[in-house]
Structure 1
Amino acid sequence: MVLTLVIRSSVLGEYVAPPDPIQTATDVAAAVTTIPTAADPTQYIPLLQGAAVEIDRFSGAEQSDWLLSLAHDICDPVHFRGVLCVEAPNHTWRQITVFEPLIDQTYLYELPPTVVIGLSKISLRHNKSATSTAGAAGTMRTAVLRRDNDTCWISRTRASTFSNSHICPKRMEDAQALCILQTFCGYQGANIGVFHPMFGIVLCRSLDNYFDSYELGFRGSGPPDQYRVHCFKLQTLTIAGIPQIPGFPLPPLHNAIVNQPPTPGHADNPLPGLFRWHYLQCVLRRFATQEYRRQSNISYHEIPLRMEDDSSDNDRGDDDEDGWPSASWDRARLAASEAEAEKQRQSAIVAWRTEVR
């Protein structure tokens, strides 16, 4: 058996075809417009699915509250109008209690019958690029590194070669990024695009690879700006982003605590709702059902263009031999810097082990 989260078919609206490209707030509004369906309320659409023992790795002490919060973010991220029920005998539903343990059973996110929702869209995060384009990414990278004092949010180590990790893909562009900010953060302003420093954090390059591919997410753990790192890869990794090595007892990456940003209170620190959106994408990548993935127009529109600041994405295009004008020089400098950083890290490990003994 497996644990399955479902909703009633009757509350699910179908997305219309979005504009291409999506460049304005009007385009975004069109992209999230849904058409009600005349579905049978006794029929259900599965959204998430996985063994309870596997989901327990992420739900932890939250248990049913974890699943309910994900159901909110998938179905009703602004209003939170649904409740979570579990299948009971005689084809009935029982509302779950707070922190109720999750089991291999079917759970229903029950919305008011008059509500019609569109499921949260899925970010495919295109990694294959075709062309190079200059833009604001370099400026954003400089601002994020300066804000975070060149310090990785997770490992808390410093180096000049760390990545500006994008919470929302830059290929999503400004209008969709602003919509996410408004939906998941309650942001009421305007004129903030995907290259605003709020959409970036500093991570060492090995961790950036997992964060970028939705294999590593930040789960809010209660206090403001405190997060628990969840690793969605099956492999056991350390906070340095490398596999666990016998004899080198580095702390594990999964469930590592981020007590606060490298620069607490900075005006350009990411709002918690952005991490909430990114974490949802991690969960969807791991647990979303095929029925969810096959919904009409369920993916965000992301332009397949290579953009400035893609040097750490490992996604050189087929027709883009160098990627950007200074690519060869940048790669050589990056390789030398990373080699020096790794040498210093290994020396620190040896020194730490010597002190422990």
Structure 2
Amino acid sequence: MSEKGIMIVTCMGESSRFKGWGPKWGLTHPSGNIMAAEAARPFAEHWTPHVVVPDVPFGPSVDQVYEEFCKAGMPDTKVVTLDQPTAHRMETVRLALEMICPEGDPPVLVRDCDNLVEANIMPGDNAVSVCDVLKHGPINPKELSFVDRRNDIVWDSHESDLITRWFCSGAYAVRRASMLDGLVVETMADAIGTLVSRNLNVRFTAADTTRYFDWGTGDKWRKFRRSYRTIFLDIDGVLLESSHRTFGKTWRDSTPLDVNCEKIADLYATGHVHIALCTSRSDDARVGTVTQLKRAGVPYDRLIMGLPACGRLLVNDVVEDRFDHTAEAVEVVRDEDGSLIRALKEVGL
């Protein structure tokens, strides 16, 4: 594999749109990783993360940030600390590069810490990740940068200026770090626009974003987190016809409720649903139960066996001033195939 480039993940902002939340880049993603690590992860195969954080007493330590990135599968991460607040993104990038590569001239990718972007950008590319407003609206133009895109070439780029339907989604690459020297701009979008307008020999590719989520405000972050669910499902009577250990239709003889099983498979395929299956079947029936579930095409993350054959109650915590429901419950008619679809629709699934 060719040598990796430098990925700068900027985490210097004061998170004014996340009042009372702490540093937004350290918020926990549903995956269990911090926001900044999830932002970096799609590019980590070809770019080494360099996380730029403020050196402040109330923030996470260098070791804590490094541990979080290691946990997310990026053990080559470097953490760069700046002891003074920066005025804007480009100042953060400039100071970080002075510390990271005082003599070299590596390829550089600059990543926002508050969104998820998947795009094909490789070391050596001059590229900007772009999204189509028509596919990812509604948007607030004042919060975004836009590009003049002709075929796959970026001809201009402006902050908060709705010049086309294509907006910068948050990944900016230059072939050499020195290309950013001396630019009197505040954002990477304006830096790209300046480079393109100054030099006719410099071309930037518009890299189409294949997956995008904006986490830039508290409301957007809550909306994103609500798109993830952990679903606890009883097996017998919901996914398989109800059965008994010994009498009548036994555990090994129960047939799948096909429509219900297909619904769970579809939800699981989105990647936003964690499935925990529960049953009062004893643990000595695990092998047979796993075989039945596999035959019925039911995917799952956890299988909890040996629960008492009685009612179930789920208790979860909630933050009082954020008005988010963190626990919901539905009931379905035993052995009624299709009832699960109606029940889950009531809770937005």
Into which bin does the TM-score normalised by the smaller protein fall? under 0.3
Q: What is the TM-score normalised by the length of structure 1?
A: 0.22
Normalized per residue, the structure richer in strand is: 2
Higher RCO structure, 1 or 2 (CA under 8 Å, sep 6+): 1
